[in-house]
Amino acid sequence: MSEVRLFDPQALYRTWEDAQWSPFAIDLATDQNQWRDLAEEDRGLIFWVLSSLMVAEERITTKFSGLVSAYGTEEEATFLATQQVDEARHMQFYARFQDEVVADQAAIAAHVERAREQISPAFRTIFDGTLVEAHRQLVANPDDTAAKVRFVTLYHQILEGTLGLTTFNFLTGYLER
């Protein structure tokens, strides 16, 4: 069996530097035209999914700081900060999509607040309960390895690896059909 070599934080950071994108460089003209042509039922479903994503990105952006603060090395802190920036970038994109495609311009906080009205109680439990508590524990005890592992597991395995990918696959398939 061959040995699996994981990137260290510095290699992860360098990979991140090479893969930058801007939420403001994406052309939304086609999306604007297609949005107007969608049936109300389709727009409602897409708005609900995007609302969930908006709340998720806001919550992760604001709660990831606990993990950044619990860094072990400067290289780890640098890489973790990139992940927080990426989450903020996603939130910026969803807000821009709301502004330019859904045509409901507002500050990001207003978009998030409106999106919160759309999400389910289960979603609130995960993002406003479990994630917030994992963040609180990590901030209170940044040297607690168990708290760090709980936060990283929740973030990578549950939020990104399960909910995020499932949502992405669902919405992509739905829009392709």
Q: How far apart are CA 130 and CA 142, in angstroms?
A: 17
Q: How far apart are CA 98 and CA 108, in angstroms?
A: 9
- Tens digit of pLDDT per residue, the chain (177 long)? 678 888 898 998 899 899 999 999 999 999 999 999 999 999 989 988 988 888 899 999 999 999 999 999 999 999 999 999 999 999 899 889 988 998 777 778 888 888 888 888 998 999 999 999 999 999 999 999 999 999 999 999 999 999 989 999 999 999 888
Task: Give the gyration radius of the chain's Cα atoms.
Answer: 18
Q: What pLDDT score was predicted for residue 4?
A: 80
Q: Which CATH number fits domain 39-176: 1.10.620.20, 3.40.190.10, 3.30.200.20, 3.40.1280.10?
A: 1.10.620.20
Query: H-type helices in 71-163, by residue range?
Result: 74-97, 108-116, 121-124, 131-140, 145-153
Ramachandran sector of residue 7 (left: φ over 0; alpha: ψ -120 to 50; beta: rest): beta
Helix axes 40-63, 165-176, angle to 10 degrees: 160
- Residue 45 dihedral angles phi and psi, to the nearest 5°: -65, -45
Q: What pLDDT score was predicted for residue 115?
A: 87
DSSP-assigned letter for residue 126 = I
Q: How many CB atoms lie within 10 A of CB 117?
A: 8
Q: What pLDDT score was predicted for residue 85?
A: 92
The answer to whether the beta carbons of residues 23 and 148 sit under 8 Å apart is no
Q: What pLDDT score was predicted for residue 148?
A: 95
Query: What tokens were used for 160?
Result: 């990104």
The answer to whether the beta carbons of residues 94 and 53 sit under 8 Å apart is yes
The answer to whether the beta carbons of residues 96 and 166 sit under 8 Å apart is no
Q: What pLDDT score was predicted for residue 119?
A: 87
Among 34, 166, 40, 28, which residue's Cα sits nearest to residue 93? 28
Q: What pLDDT score was predicted for residue 33?
A: 93
Q: What pLDDT score was predicted for residue 106?
A: 74
* 80 three-state secondary structure: helix
Q: What pLDDT score was predicted for residue 108?
A: 82
DSSP-assigned letter for residue 18 = T
Global model pTM greater than 0.95:
no
